[in-house]
A and B are shown apart, each in its own frame.
Chain A
């Protein structure tokens, strides 16, 4: 077994801000355990935006909650290790973890609509966050920090007294973003931060994220099901399928060597500039997490699957600068352009 991290158990705060090493998570269901995250290894470099793309149920959000140490009841980390700024989150004292969260790593939730407590104002939310980590902070200091944050996300300071239901969807998401930036954490998880918003608001929020990231240089794990959106934002994109990372690719890379699933995703993006729009879906459905296929989880839907795919889980391979978990790239002695165009 490959153990590059276990060999260096000392906390190393100067290494990559976020490291996931062979992390597996499963949920207890009435029909047995369901693997939601399967042997995921990822490294987030300082100042990097890593996109994480996958369809619903592929384990993206579970992965984010795993990294935060906020898995719901009934879910557990079966194996692997998570290090944020060199700290192993799952071996921290609960009180240390409570304080470390948000200072070391924070998260923008998928549903900004529901992420704010309906009976508290914007100011209450920010003050709560500040006071939870520094009970002795003065009102004056807290207010000052709040004004900085509201300015950062371009929200009028008068909105501090507003309740969530008095804000638009975009404003709520900005407030959530401001709350995530309270302590300038080195790592920020964004779980579908723009999914519930219309494209105009989506664009302005993404621009804001870009600006803040350029200024503060935090590492961002950006989760989305929108492949083209992620490609325009992230430096690298990880593609998740049935709980596994099947490919990690440079978003602007010229490589054509992709996982067949990634190929399928790319074909599903309409190109507005073309005269004739031809999009095609991927036939079949995502697998049942209770009964994952043997071998490569994608093989039942894969147009280029062969015998080995049905029996053996493909390892991550370095292919033209990308990391791809597909057997077709390890078939030696055969033609290298099998069926891919």
Chain B
């Protein structure tokens, strides 16, 4: 319980720090969104009057008040879930844009990451247990190779081969336009069908790291005295492999898992771009292209929160798996 409160306190402080940095960074940059819109309209040959300017300033929260009162207002807005208005998707709010794209990213990158972690860890345990055999050598070599390939390149190859040449899978988007009133499961299958290639991209590029990491950790724990002692005591192989070797070997990997889960929200940026997948990564690209500061800020905030929450969650799991961590500092 003390461990839990300790970590919870740390989480809250980190979130506050992330919020503050997120507030400060855009204010240290020159210009503001209203100037950007103004320039946009001016270049189109339709300059805006002072009234319109004032209205926009109100809408985007370009305030001329002190930084402290801006900060308090910012925190207050956040508490109400208000992240401002998107410039690109005007008049949608940033919250609305994120709400629409987050499920796609979580569904795609989240599922793909969990698949690669589970599969990679399982295969790593298997390879370590059969270390020195052909299976071990084969698995390790192949996954080292796949994880060395840049993942956007894998994405391009998959699109070209299975989308463009063979037409097995759609080349882009998360779903196709189906006639209205179609059964929900048909829609679900359609989504799954669209997710295969981008999902495979993520799994192929990520699995090697998990496999090799787990394999190496596990080979280390297999050499520990407590494993030999357990074998001497007659502990059966299955329990030896899971409760003695793998259980201890997985601990260092959990930290990596926390990071990976956090970065899921950041989206497999390039994967989403290659497949025109309507997730957070795609929105971030759009935001950058359109100088959509409110959207960028909102997305960065969501990414930071996701990393922090994932870390907190994994720390809880860590505390559960490793009794030594429970004592804490």
Contacts and interface: CB of A to CB of B under 8 A. Distances in A.
Q: Do A and B bind each other?
A: yes
Interface of A: 68, 70, 73, 98-99, 101-103, 106-107, 109-111, 114-120, 128-129, 132-133, 163, 165, 176, 179, 182
A73 B219 CA distance: 13
A107 B232 contact: yes
A179 B224 CA distance: 18
B322 A118 contact: yes
Given A119-B323, A132-B233, 19 more contacts: A70-B228, A70-B231, A101-B232, A101-B234, A102-B234, A106-B233, A109-B228, A111-B225, A114-B224, A114-B226, A118-B226, A118-B323, A118-B324, A119-B322, A128-B243, A129-B235, A132-B239, A163-B324, A179-B233
Interface residues of B, number: 22
Contact of B229 (A115, A119, A163): A115
B236 A132 contact: yes
Contact of A132 (B224, B225, B229, B234): B234
Contacts of A103: 234
A131 to B, nearest CB: 9
Nearest to B235: A132
Contacts of B228: 70, 109
A165 B228 CA distance: 19
Contacts of B248: 117-119
15 contacts: A70-B232, A98-B234, A101-B233, A109-B225, A115-B226, A116-B226, A117-B243, A117-B247, A118-B248, A119-B321, A132-B233, A132-B234, A133-B234, A163-B323, A165-B323
Contact of A102 (B225, B226, B232): B232
A118 B235 CA distance: 16
A65 to B, nearest CB: 8
Nearest to B251: A119
Given A129-B235, A132-B236, A117 B324 contact: no
Nearest to A111: B225
A179 B234 CA distance: 12
B78 interface: no
Contacts of A133: 234
A165 B324 contact: yes
A117 B233 contact: no
A117 B232 contact: no
Q: Closest 4 CB pairs between A and B? A: A114-B225, A163-B323, A115-B229, A132-B234
B323 A117 contact: no
Nearest to B239: A128
Contacts of A115: 225-226, 229
Contacts of B277: none
B230 interface: yes
B244 interface: yes
Nearest to B231: A70
Given A132-B236, A163-B323, A163-B324, A117 B226 contact: yes
B229 to A, nearest CB: 4
Nearest to B245: A117
A101 B224 CA distance: 19
B287 to A, nearest CB: 45
Nearest to A163: B323
Contacts of B236: 98, 132
A119 B322 CA distance: 6
Most A CB atoms within 10 A — which of B230, B234, B321?
B234
A117 B230 contact: yes
Contacts of B224: 114
A229 B302 CA distance: 65
A73 B131 CA distance: 11
Contact of B244 (A102, A117, A165): A117
A99 B234 contact: yes
Interface string B239-265: 100011001100000000000000000
A309 to B, nearest CB: 38
A70 B239 CA distance: 18
A142 to B, nearest CB: 14
A98 B232 CA distance: 8
Nearest to B236: A132
Contacts of A106: 232-233
Contacts of A129: 233-235
A118 B250 CA distance: 13
Contacts of B234: 98-99, 101-103, 129, 132-133
Contacts of A132: 233-236, 239
Interface in B72-129: none
A117 B243 CA distance: 9
A73 B228 CA distance: 12
A258 B233 CA distance: 38
B316 to A, nearest CB: 16
Contacts of A176: 229
